[in-house]
Amino acid sequence: MRISLRLLLIASVAACAPMLPEAPPVRPTPAPAPVRPAVPAPTPAPPPANPADQAGFEGWKQGFLARHGGVRRDAYARELAGLTPDPSVIRLDGNQPEFSRPAGAYIQSAVSATRIAQGRQRTDRVPWEVVQRFGVPAEILVSIWGNESSYGAVQGDYDVIRSLATLAFDGRRRDWAEAQLKDALDIVVDGRRDRAGLKGSWAGAMGQTQFMPDNYLRLGVDQSGDGKVDIWGSDADSLASAANLLAQAGWKRGQSWGYEVILPAGFDYAEAEGPRHDWRYWSQRGVTLARGGAPTDAEALEEGVILLPQGARGPAFLALPNHYVIRRYNNSVSYALAIGLTADGIAGKPGLVGTWPDDAPLSRDQRIGAQRALTALGYDTQGIDGVVGANTRAALRRWQIASGRLADGYLTADLADELIRRAG
């Protein structure tokens, strides 16, 4: 791959990136090596910061050091010296594709035939002892690997410390970002990774399986046994670390993440994304598996949720507990479905029965405007941040019920515009 193309790919990586370009075909190698350009590329100078912004950033930095520095204040200050906020991080934070694109567009791009085929070629990269120890199937781990970094090819070239400092300064997720920044600084100060090598996505996710700094410190696994956790250069360390994260989050051995289902005529869509029920409850209401059959005995006892990621017109899913474990990686319905469906494809299962509607994406103004409108109309979205998550969908369902509409909780561009008009 030419250097110019490689740098373009690296620059485009997102925090969790199912939209990444496909990986090259797998080639057996004696040992995985860190991904590096063949020729060192010059680091572009950061864009000049607005003087007022830089003054505010310096003030935030001193506050951060006072809040979190402790006995390491001087060491942290050295790593933060000369840092400026990165405006591209703020822009990307407001436009994450798994929250802004229609679910179908996102999932169809992520669950591609090429990615599935490449995943099948790589299942033998997952050490058998990792599957045995943590109970997470190889296809799930390979799916995460492919969706997060295109099998290690695109890991991100952002300065993790600068990205997290920018997010903390911006303030939308300050407490979270400051905690992650402290952990990133500890990684460097403790000598676990040198500063130049602490690269990742714009949101601070690192390595082949895109771990945040706290997860790296708590859950990173030295599977290769070389005395360090190398999620950048070691397939084994990356996959074992991902398996540990899922296991610690409650992965249920021998169970699926969920199933595509068919909903009967007259189904009460207000039950979607609501209370969890076992399979007996759902089957008594006419819900069937799209490919026939039934969940396993163990899965049938679990409490599942009906998901309508693109409303009543799109495919429906029964989400089992492992779906929510996957969301510990990225709390997005679209992301977790992409991981599960890619894993199903790698395991040789057939694709979806339902088809995705061709809906237009929502702009940030539409998402924020709809949240503001719902809240003004008396249906609190629990925050106005442009992320159409569970709280926003629940508020929308309440409005749909009160308006005598089908309550599928799905926000289209047309519906967002209508809500904005209604709220004035």
The rounded average pLDDT for each run of 10 residues, N- to C-terminus, in the chain (424 residues) is 37 41 41 35 42 80 97 98 94 69 92 97 97 98 97 97 96 93 98 96 97 98 97 98 98 98 96 95 98 97 97 97 95 95 98 95 93 97 91 96 95 96 92
Contact of 147 with 110, CB cutoff 8 Å: yes
Q: d(Cα 35, Cα 232) in Å, to the nearest integer? A: 7
pLDDT of res. 99 = 58
Q: Where are the beta strands (DSSP E) in 263-417?
A: 288-289, 305-307, 316-319
DSSP string, 114-148: HHHHHHHHHGGGS-HHHHHHH---HHHHHHHHHHH
Instruction: Give φ, ψ of 288 to 5 degrees.
Output: -130, 155
Compute the distance between CA of residue 66 and CA of residue 178 in angstroms, rounded to an integer.
Answer: 12
Q: Is 258 left (phi over 0), alpha (psi -120 to 50) or beta?
A: left
Closest C-alpha to 255, from 326, 351, 352:
326
Contact (CB, 8 A) for 233 and 32: yes
**pLDDT at position 265, please?**
95
Distance from CA of residue 101 to its chain's centroid?
14
Look at residue 211 and give its three-state secondary structure.
Answer: strand
Which CA distances in Å does 30 have to 16, 209, 234, 330? 28, 21, 12, 32
Look at residue 217 in the predicted model and tell me its pLDDT: 98
User: pLDDT by residue (tens digit) across 89-123?
Assistant: 988 886 665 556 899 999 999 999 999 999 999 99
Q: Closest by alpha carbon to 90, among 57, 66, 45, 41? A: 57
Q: Are 395 and 379 in contact (CB under 8 A)?
A: yes
Q: What tokens were used for 96?
A: 């994450």
* Local structure of 85: helix, strand or coil: coil
Q: What is the pLDDT of residue 55?
A: 83
For residue 288, list its beta bridge partners: 262
CA angle 83, 206, 109 (to 5 degrees): 115
Helix (H), strand (E) at residue 344: helix 333-346
Distance CA 273, CA 337 (A): 14
pLDDT confidence of residue 28? 37
Task: Please check whether residue 208 is in contact with residue 35, taking contact to mean a CB–CB distance below 8 angstroms.
Answer: no
Contact status, residue 210 vs residue 200, Cβ threshold 8 Å: yes
pLDDT of residue 26: 42
How far, rounded to the nearest angstrom, does the alpha carbon of residue 73 sit from its chain's CA centroid? 32
Supply the pLDDT for residue 96.
61
Phi-psi region of 306 (alpha: psi -120 to 50; beta: other; left: phi over 0): beta
CB-based burial, 3-35: b 16+ in 10 Å, e otherwise: eeebeebbebbbbbbbbbeebeeeeeeeebeeb
